[in-house]
Amino acid sequence: MAYKIIASQCTGCSACEPECPNVAIREKNGTFIIDPKKCTECMGHFDDPQCVAVCPVDLTCIIDNAYPRYEVPA
């Protein structure tokens, strides 16, 4: 269902925020967080999750296993 941002890795650069097609990313205490209720893993929008593609630090935007994988509504 969602990606999450590892706060300790996040540089707070904000690159992901405007790229998110679901407007699911916002700043919180200097780093950025993804609202799991809004994240669609970019399915239906782009081939690649945008936050992962633009993030300057590898392995910072990762799948949040606490949620089931997103499925495109039928």
Partner 1 sequence: MQSTTASVGIQEIKPLDQLLEKIADHKGCGTSSEGGKASCGSSGGPADMAPEVWEKVKNHPCYSEEAHHHYARMHVAVAPACNIQCNYCNRKYDCANESRPGVVSEKLTPEQASKKVLAVASAIPQMTVLGIAGPGDPLANPAKTFKTFELIAKTAPDIKLCLSTNGLALPDHVDTIKGFNVDHVTITINMVDPEVGQHIYPWIFWKNKRVTGIEAARILTERQMLGLEMLTAAGVLCKINSVMIPGINDKHLVEVNKAVKSRGAFLHNIMPLISAPEHGTVFGLNGQRGPTAQELKALQDSCEGDMNMMRHCRQCRADAVGLLGEDRSAEFTTEKIDEMSEVVYDAATRKAYQELVEAERNEKVAAKEAAMADLDVTDIKILIAVATKGQGRVNEHFGHATEFQIYEVGSAGTKFVGHRRVDLYCQGGFGEEEALPSVVNAINDCHAVFVAKIGGCPRDELKAAGIDPVDRFAHEFIEESAITYFKEYFAKVCAREIVHQVRGDADIRQGAYIAAA
- With CB under 8 A, what is the number of residues at the site for partner 1? 19
Comparing CB distances to partner 1, the nearer of 37 and 46 is: 46
Among 19, 22, 38, 43, binds partner 1 (CB under 8 A): 19
Shortest reach from residue 65's CB to partner 1, in Å: 23
The number of residues making up the chain comes to: 74
Sign of CA dihedral 63, 7, 49, 24: positive
Q: Where are any strands of DSSP class E within 1-74?
A: 3-5, 25-28, 31-34, 61-63
Residue 11 interacts with partner 1 (CB under 8 A): yes or no:
yes
